[in-house]
Structure 1
């Protein structure tokens, strides 16, 4: 979607410097309020109280369930089109944080089918990315008793029957009005698959509030799913959404993307690589010379290194504020700020990589997170696909 030719935000394309307020007007979502932030379990995650997650749809029902200790779930997924970078992994660490605080169910759909429809990649290449991405997801450290990972092409016995039921509630004109003209019929069908992802916890566990923490470019999927939930007879709540801003690209404001000219910081990067990428490529909000910076100071809101710290990689609010003030008054130089960000990110990645290195093979690790036979049957039965002994 385009705002006066300044930026484009769709599930398949993000370009330009984004005006997040205009985007809310276009998408029709609501600003996350102070009262809603306060209603999150204490302490609220930095992504919430620093308003990286800045908008919502129908979140009060989810928060009420959390605070009343009633059943609730979280759905956040991954499209495996390449190696994961730090922007990809933030919603998963956020979901893990909420799971630890509230005992939430977490469902993680992996949409390898969508990436095949969307990208010029073979199924073999996407399969290789899927396997690597799954290891990174497992390294986050979710509770296997409260987490389910669904891979579309591997779990077709559940995904396809549900998507078939939901697809009948969506017209092609609705798809084109929401996404533009799809490049192929696979992308026309995919919103029904996405609705399956988002409604699956309720189809298995019964009606309860579900939260989808997701970058705002994915909001069209939420809108289609909420429409489907309104039309269907399966006794489900419309999923709630918590919509985030994008982690900036190293090149400056905008979304970090594996296809950018500026490199992304990958989950596999070692400490030396992180420092090299940030020192070489991170957009600076400082002045062009040291003397000018000492005199005029820098702008942390325009500085990629500071934004990395603010979004996720500095959890101490007081330290973050001190870094911001020192950068504004010129006592902290751009190079010094870059090194602070690089140090924090490298520390985070080393912890992630250590957990990943402790994992066994996917054959050993993944079964604990897959749907059980009983869960598969409950989901299929809820939409009328009964096990009659033939299949």
Structure 2
């Protein structure tokens, strides 16, 4: 993993030059599972990068992988609310549905039909070796489901249905791009040139710690959701566990809560955690929490205002998803028809 990540990082300057020279030559597929409200980690880690690529002129597809919610959960409860909330946050952050296709996995049946031939191109051992499959299985504490085992193939179908050739990912998700490249290559070798082998794109965005110092995550309950009110933000920060040492220092190992607050504040004011710690000095955790609350609320004020205005139109989200789903369906059906032809199953398209 480390060698793969290092090699990918070394390729980034050349990739960025190629994108700048020919943005229309790239098509991005990115997205997330709607398992909760989007938070600051999403904004800094992925959403801003999508807006940047869109602004460069790269055709961008954002999938809300609602079917994939049940890979490690017993229920899809509240998924509809999470999908609608995500669309509002995308729009408030600057994604333009005229330039970026936003769609739901469950609304594109051809995606799941593509999985069948793709599954024939990978072995059970390759799926078991996938780090995300192993991590999610361990975290679930239950038997490995067929859906979770095939999760990397789901993602390959998500990427390849639109002939995506660029996938922004974090370090932990590089294996998904690698198995997608493997599937694309094996399909092309077996049936003829059909799919591009997508490139992974990693950025310098640091991992965003949560309020407790761990990775910011919906499942940990340590995140500042983009849709929180100012009062909800203040309450979440106030409840963060810190320590009795009044001198504020950045020490993620020994002082995870204090360091998580420092990192959050620093991101929002465009500084470093160490600089924020110096500003707080010996005024204690109360002053740190007040500073962090003000920094987050000031940073998110514009996003919240735009989100509120968009949400005032009850049809806004439905219109965006309707147009995105229609666009994704047309592409997926075209790709599925091409796959059938390549496999000698053109009669199925009649």
TM-score by length of 1: 0.70
Which residue number in structure 2 is paired with residue 68 of structure 1? 21
Which residue number in structure 2 is paired with residue 257 of structure 1? 217
1:309-328 correspondence to structure 2 within 5 Å: 309-310=265-266, 312-315=267-270, 322-323=275-276, 325-326=278-279
Q: Give the drift of 1:79.
A: 0.6
1:354 maps to which of 280, 300, 305: 305
Paired with 2:195 and 2:145, the residues of 1 have a C-alpha distance of: 32
* More helix per residue: 2
User: Given the superposition, is the C-alpha separation of residues 238 and 259 from structure 1 closer, same or farther in structure 2, using an over 3 Å criterion?
Assistant: closer
User: Given the superposition, is the C-alpha separation of residues 226 and 351 from structure 1 closer, same or farther in structure 2, using an over 3 Å criterion?
Assistant: same
Paired with 1:200 and 1:57, the residues of 2 have a C-alpha distance of: 28
Paired with 1:251 and 1:340, the residues of 2 have a C-alpha distance of: 16
More off after superposition, 266-275 vs 81-90? 81-90
1:185-264 correspondence to structure 2 within 5 Å: 185-202=146-163, 209-214=165-170, 216-233=171-188, 234-242=194-202, 245-252=206-213, 254-260=214-220, 263-264=222-223
1:300-315 correspondence to structure 2 within 5 Å: 303-310=259-266, 312-315=267-270
Q: Give the drift of 1:238.
A: 2.8
- Paired residues, number: 320
Paired with 1:144 and 1:250, the residues of 2 have a C-alpha distance of: 32
Q: Give the drift of 1:166.
A: 2.1
Q: Unpaired segments of 5 or more residues in structure 1?
A: 1-23, 32-54, 204-208
Q: Unpaired segments of 5 or more residues in structure 2?
A: 138-142, 189-193
Asked if the contact 2:40–2:225 (Cα under 8 Å) also holds between the matched residues in 1, the reply is yes
User: Given the superposition, is the C-alpha separation of residues 371 and 237 from structure 1 closer, same or farther in structure 2, using an over 3 Å criterion?
Assistant: farther
Asked if the contact 1:230–1:238 (Cα under 8 Å) also holds between the matched residues in 2, the reply is no
Which residue number in structure 1 is paired with residue 325 of structure 2? 370
1:383 partnered with 2:339: yes
1:337 partnered with 2:288: yes
Cα deviation 1:16-71 (Å, max 9, x = unaligned): xxxxxxxx53x74117xxxxxxxxxxxxxxxxxxxxxxx74853553132231342
Q: Give the drift of 1:137.
A: 2.8
Q: Give the drift of 1:279.
A: 3.0
Q: Give the drift of 1:155.
A: 1.0
Which residue number in structure 2 is paired with residue 162 of structure 1? 114
2:65 maps to which of 95, 111, 129: 111
1:184 partnered with 2:145: yes
User: Given the superposition, is the C-alpha separation of residues 313 and 276 from structure 1 closer, same or farther in structure 2, using an over 3 Å criterion?
Assistant: same
Cα deviation 1:90-148 (Å, max 9, x = unaligned): 31122113322x12222111111111131121x45433433333333333221223211
Asked if the contact 1:314–1:320 (Cα under 8 Å) also holds between the matched residues in 2, the reply is no
Asked if the contact 1:80–1:126 (Cα under 8 Å) also holds between the matched residues in 2, the reply is yes
Cα deviation 1:340-367 (Å, max 9, x = unaligned): 3222222333322322222232223323
Q: Give the drift of 1:387.
A: 8.2
TM-score by length of 2: 0.77
Asked if the contact 2:211–2:260 (Cα under 8 Å) also holds between the matched residues in 1, the reply is yes
1:150 partnered with 2:111: no
